[in-house]
């Protein structure tokens, strides 16, 4: 159904409603209007890395892990699977009259906020720190969720609009400031791409203010969205964000004033309770019935586009419940986990050989943790496979596996009645009895996440530093001191300083939060069934670099992310090793694409990612470091050489002025093509320097 047709139907239906009925439909928990045959509908559902919070669904790697795949084609397949499962669940549950929260078809995903600061707890929900990567992946995900049918399969939502990335503790009252250049160059491109290129059906406003205006009622942001970008879908507030207008931002004095500001600014749907005051605002003359009607038409246009109202239905009504956690989707989740893991260091210890490795000690608080598999905004899986279980299953009958929890994830003891470090001696004993040690450390959603979701020493979901929790640092030190060949598996959703492991462990494998069955994928990578091929979508800084970065509350991009950071990171953006030995042997390029010839000189077949970076050599408005402008995931057999065309982002040949105007670049560019970014240590990190090409015009 075209938007025009859906809007016509919405206008006709809304025209039959009373003001009270129209107002009731602008809450996320919209009640039924029986006299018009309109069923109740709850707009709140989540699909960040699988249908979330509503019951059983396939569990994919956390969004930051899927970003590390550098594979928009696979992400499209994942989004398609998630959309199918959302439809299947809606079809089945609504037939039973179940219209509860998390059971609808309006999916409040993806989160295309830029991961600008490594302390932000919700960075795990994003596609990383690069605007181009975020836009490209977000576009693929939205197109997949929404489908290509006559009706929408689901309605995707771009969030959180805009300039929103912590601190979590301040988000309900914080006033962000960003220059016009940083807005146009960094914070807004992904949102614009999702609106103009992907046709996203909804946009969610952020909690904070931007330049003194609440983002859910910002004239500037709404002007860009509905004016310059031509957005025609509906706008939804973040949950209870409109209440923040009067309770925290203090830009209004009462709920009716917040209703007036939000509704007249163009916020159509309220996740929260403030729009319960709409009729009071109408009675006081603070809003008009036309204000209510405008938003009601927008939200009902979406419901008609989904085929949820009227007699036409949807071609997706026949999607059966049996697609939920079907074999195809589980296999897709495993493939995503394999592609997402990033090999950060390998002195030759990996891959392990189950037939010859003897006794393997698996140690650490995340080794047998289900919570460390799933990240936040997750669904419920019917089966979980931890890293320990994956290793046990893969090596069964071939080597002995010893296990110790080693320590609590963050507390100084596992058992409350025990002395501090009550698992440490056991861990050292296991390490001494083992031929090889696999140490599984990191975080989970209780240590990094959303404000209100966490506790202990972390700040409302954000990290206070980049270090492992103190008990894990002690465990790492003691286990490494045993002197056995040791592999660190890091499970986290953000940059961590693991300098001790980089210096003293044989290998470091970053698994992110790999999904409910992710332990299988981690085991297969450790034991060489598959080769790691993920790449970092964020910079891994050293902890002391926090003193060099701008303050967490400073939204200036100067000095942060790989495009502007002047220092030497622990691991740079775009970095990741494989078990192969891939190198770029030749590159030629024009303004549209590069032709990259690559060869695998290793003895192992592997996937890898060709990355293109562009530097404007003369424009004063260009970022100081080369920017990602293209990528392509490839597969090369051992000894194989092959050429691959890689499209180049046209926007890379432009720059953004201080006034926020995007203009042509200098006409003199250097293109870098390699299997990592053109970090000054690229040769030392990968063993191969990137090939370059000059582009003029």
Evaluated on CA atoms 642, 643, 645, 651, the torsion sign reads positive
Q: In degrees to the nearest 10, what's the CA dihedral of 110, 112, 115, 120?
A: -50
Residue 209 DSSP SS3: strand
Closest CA to 624 of 680, 553, 544: 680
Core vs surface per residue 626-638: b (16+ CB within 10 A) or e:
bbbbbbbbbebee
Closest CA to 582 of 663, 691, 451, 477: 691
188: its two tokens: 């807004």
Place of tokens 């959603």: 445
| Phi-psi group of 44: left, alpha or beta (phi > 0 → left; psi -120 to 50 → alpha; rest → beta) | beta
CB 306 within 8 A of CB 314: yes
Report strand pairing: 202-205 vs 234-236: parallel
* Cα–Cα distance for residue pair 396/351, rounded to 1 Å: 17
* Cα–Cα distance for residue pair 484/363, rounded to 1 Å: 13
Q: How many CB atoms lie within 10 A of CB 389?
A: 19
Report strand pairing: 668-674 vs 606-616: antiparallel
Residue 148: φ, ψ to 5°: -125, 30
Q: Which residues are catalytic?
A: 238, 448
Rounded to a whole number of angstroms, the distance between the first and last alpha carbons of the chain is 43
**Long-range Cβ pairs for the range 326-330 (8 Å, 24+):** 326/58, 328/81, 329/58, 329/81, 329/84, 329/85, 330/58, 330/517
Please tell me what DSSP assigns to residue 224. Answer: I
């Amino acid at each position: 159904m075209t938007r025009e047709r859906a809007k016509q139907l919405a206008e006709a239906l809304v025209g039959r409603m009373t003001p009270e009925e129209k107002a009731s439909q602008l809450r996320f928990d919209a009640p039924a209007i029986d006299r018009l045959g309109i069923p109740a509908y709850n707009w709140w559902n989540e699909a960040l890395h699988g249908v979330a919070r509503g019951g059983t669904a396939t569990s994919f790697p956390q969004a930051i892990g899927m970003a590390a795949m550098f594979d928009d084609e696979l992400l499209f397949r994942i989004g398609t699977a998630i959309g199918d499962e959302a439809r299947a669940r809606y079809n089945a549950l609504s037939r039973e009259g179940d219209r509860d929260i998390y059971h609808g078809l309006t999916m409040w995903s993806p989160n295309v906020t830029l991961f600008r600061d490594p302390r932000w707890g919700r960075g795990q929900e994003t596609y990383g720190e690069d605007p181009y990567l975020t836009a490209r992946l977000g576009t693929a995900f939205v197109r997949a969720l929404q489908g290509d049918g006559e009706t929408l399969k689901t309605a995707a939502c771009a969030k959180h609009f805009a300039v929103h990335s912590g601190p979590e503790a301040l988000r309900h009252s914080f006033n962000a400031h960003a220059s016009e250049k940083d807005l146009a160059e960094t914070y807004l491109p992904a949102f614009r791409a999702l609106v103009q290129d992907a046709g996203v059906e909804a946009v969610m406003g952020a909690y904070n203010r931007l330049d003194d205006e609440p983002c859910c009622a910002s004239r500037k942001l709404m002007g860009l969205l509905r004016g310059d970008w031509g957005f025609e879908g509906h706008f939804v507030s973040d949950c209870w964000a409109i209440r923040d207008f009067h309770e925290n931002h203090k830009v209004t004095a009462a709920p009716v004033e917040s209703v007036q500001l939000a509704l007249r600014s163009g916020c159509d749907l309220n996740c929260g309770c403030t729009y319960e005051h709409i009729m009071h605002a109408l009675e006081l003359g603070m809003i008009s019935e036309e204000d209510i009607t405008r938003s009601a038409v927008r939200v009902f246009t979406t419901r008609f586009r989904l085929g949820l109202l009227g007699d036409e239905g949807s071609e997706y009504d026949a999607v059966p419940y049996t697609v939920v956690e079907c074999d195809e989707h589980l296999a897709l989740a495993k493939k995503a986990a394999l592609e997402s893991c990033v090999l950060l260091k390998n002195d030759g210890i990996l891959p392990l050989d189950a037939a010859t490795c003897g006794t393997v000690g698996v140690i650490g608080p995340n080794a047998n943790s289900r919570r460390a598999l799933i990240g936040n905004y997750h669904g419920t899986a019917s089966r979980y496979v931890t890293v320990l279980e994956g290793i046990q299953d893969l090596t069964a009958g071939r080597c002995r596996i010893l296990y110790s929890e080693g320590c609590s994830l963050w507390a100084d003891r596992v058992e409350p009645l025990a002395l501090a470090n009550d698992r440490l001696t056991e861990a050292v004993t296991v390490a001494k009895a083992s031929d090889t040690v696999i140490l599984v450390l990191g975080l989970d959603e209780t240590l990094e996440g959303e404000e209100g979701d966490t506790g202990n020493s972390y700040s409302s979901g954000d990290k206070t530093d980049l270090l492992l929790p103190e008990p894990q640092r002690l465990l790492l030190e003691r286990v490494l001191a045993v002197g056995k060949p040791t592999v660190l598996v890091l499970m986290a959703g953000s940059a961590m300083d693991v300098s001790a492991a980089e210096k003293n462990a044989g290998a470091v494998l970053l698994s992110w939060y790999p999904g409910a069955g992710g332990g299988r994928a981690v085991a297969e990578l450790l034991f060489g069934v598959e080769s790691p091929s993920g790449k970092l979508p964020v910079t891994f800084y050293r902890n002391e670099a926090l003193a060099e970065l701008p303050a967490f509350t400073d939204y200036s991009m100067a000095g942060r992310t790989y495009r502007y950071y002047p220092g030497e990171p622990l691991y740079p953006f775009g970095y990741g090793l494989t078990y192969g030995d891939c190198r770029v042997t030749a590159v030629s390029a024009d303004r549209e694409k590069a032709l990259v010839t690559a060869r695998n000189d290793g003895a192992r077949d592997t996937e890898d990612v060709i990355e293109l970076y562009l530097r404007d050599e003369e424009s004063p408005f260009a970022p100081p470091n080369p920017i990602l402008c293209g990528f392509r995931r490839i597969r090369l057999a051992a000894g194989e050489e092959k050429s691959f065309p890689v499209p180049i982002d046209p926007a890379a040949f432009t720059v953004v002025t201080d006034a926020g105007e995007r203009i042509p670049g200098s006409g003199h560019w250097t293109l870098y093509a390699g299997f990592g970014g053109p970090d000054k240590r690229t040769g030392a990190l990968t063993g191969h320097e990137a090939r370059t090409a000059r582009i003029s015009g």
